[in-house]
Each structure stands twice: as structure tokens, then as C-alpha cells.
Amino acid sequence: MPVIPDAFVLDQTPAPDRAQLAELGILADDCARWVRITCAGAPTATTAPVPVAVQLPWPVLGAITVRYTLTSHLPGEFLRRYAGYRFELLGLLHTLDLGAPLERTPRAYPWPFVWRETGVVVGTAGTATYDFAVQLWHQRAWYRDSPLYAELRWHPEHGERHTLVVPPDYTPPPAALQATARGLSFLRQLEQERGRSGRRADTGDYRAGEGARFRADLTPHVGALVTADIDVNFSTVATQWGHDRRWVEKYCTRFHLNLESLEAEIRRQRRSAL
């Protein structure tokens, strides 16, 4: 029977219902492994680490599973760039190892969205290290109290899908759509911050010969603006991506990319998929 460190607190939060997990494509046999990660966002004026709640299952005596919450942290410097955003991530626990050496090379995971945690806790049974990874299937981000949210979904058979979700019978103002669209950028930066794998990290610098990579990174941001019915130009793409206008214009010029043509191509692809 594993020793549960004191840093993990027994969790009483209701689980997602089976219908929600089934709608994501998670099989019934995997439902006990669900993990939910939440954070309310960061105040504008702080650079202190921001607490994050990680709810995860802990197997006890074989078939019995007890759910615990670990308080993790994100750097305030990171969240300050996205002040006012909150997020919820839902996925499946992949590993949970106690006693894992902290200097171990991180595993190479065969799927794109990963949340990794490695740390040391001191409990009544002594000091233990832990290491686990979460396979993320559903990611959502809200801006302040807006009912709109940005959504990223991943499924092993269907791949990745991103969209903006607008409640029925609600006509959002353009500013709310733009803020929500930037939530997609927030989620993608969050993946890099917490150790996503399967993708090369965006350093913000594209060398000669990397036009295809820049185009692949640019396309989801243009797609988000199209979804939100926001004009596609250097300024709106920069806001969506979290860079400045000159940065976007520089690389579009370097790699001979026309935003209007890319927007038209995305619209054609969506029409043909209907």
C-alpha cells in the first residue's frame, strides 16, 4: 500500500459525470484515472508563484481508488502576462511514482499535451519524491467572468480541435470575443510552461529554413480569429499570439506569408469539411 504524503490532501470535489467523460471519448475503464487541474488566474501586480489545484487518483489496496489534491504552483511572471484568465484542464493520469529520482530524464510521451509534476514532500512517514504525468484531453480558458471560453480538445484517434464556445442565445461583444480568442494562446503557452511534449517549444525565434514551422504555429491563431469573426491582420494576430505586431509582420515578411491568403485557405477547408 503506497504511503500518501502529507502534501496531498483528501479531495471532496465532485467528479465529472460519466457523460462528460464519455463525450470526450474517454472509455469507461479509464474513467477512474481522471485528473482535473484548475487555477483562478493571477492578479496583475504579482510575480509570486500562483497556486494550482491538481486533483488526482491514488490507488489503494488494488481496486480501491481514493482521490487527493496536490497544491502545485505556476510562476507569477508567466500568469501575469495573462492576468484575468482562469483555466480548467481534464485528462488521464499516466504515471504516479514515489521514490522516483528527480534527476531522471523526462519520458518522451507519444501525445502532444502533457502536464508534468516532479517534487519532494515531507510527510509523517518521512521524505518522498513524486513524479507523474497527465495526458490532457480537454482544456478550457475563461477571461474574467465572461460566459465564453476557449477550448482545446485532443483525442488519440481524432487529433486536436480548438474552438471558441459561445452560449446559445448570446451575442458577445467584439472585445469579449477577442479576449476569449487570446485564451487559446494562453492554453498553448501553459502547455510549454508545464512540460508538454511531442511539439517543439516556441522560442519566439524562427531561423532561415523554418518557414514551415512558423506557418504551422501561426495557423491556429489565425483560425481562432476566424472562429471569433475577428478581422485577421498583424495587430489582431499579435494580440491572439501574445507577441507584438512588428514580430508577426517580420516573420510573415521573411517567409512570404500572406495573412489574407491563409485566412481564405482556412475558410475553404472549413467549408469543405461541412
Per-residue pLDDT 10s for the chain (274 aa) are 456 666 677 787 777 888 888 888 887 777 778 888 888 765 555 566 777 888 888 766 556 677 888 888 787 777 777 888 889 999 888 766 666 554 444 455 556 677 877 777 666 656 667 777 888 889 999 998 889 999 988 887 777 788 888 888 888 888 888 888 888 888 877 877 775 443 444 445 788 788 888 888 888 888 888 888 888 999 888 877 767 788 899 999 999 999 999 999 999 988 887 6
Give the start-to-end residue ranges of the domains of the chain. Answer: 8-137, 202-273
pTM of the model: 0.67
Nearest to 251 by CA among 219, 216, 207: 207
Euclidean distance between the first and the last CA atom of the chain, given in angstroms as a whole number: 52
Q: What does the H/E/C string look like for the chain?
A: CCCCCCCEEECCCCCCCHHHHHHCCCCHHHHHHEEEEEECCCCCCCCCCEEEEEEEEEEECCCEEEEEEEEEEECHHHHHCCCCEEEEEEEEEEEEEECCCCCCCCCCCCCCCEEEEEEEEEECCEEEEEEEEEEEEEEEEEECCCCCEEEEEEECCCEEEEEEECCCCCCCCHHHHHHHHHHHHHHHHHHHHCCCCCCCCCCCCCCCCCHHHHHHHHHHHHHHHHHCCCCCCHHHHHHHHCCCHHHHHHHHHHCCCCHHHHHHHHHHHHHHHC
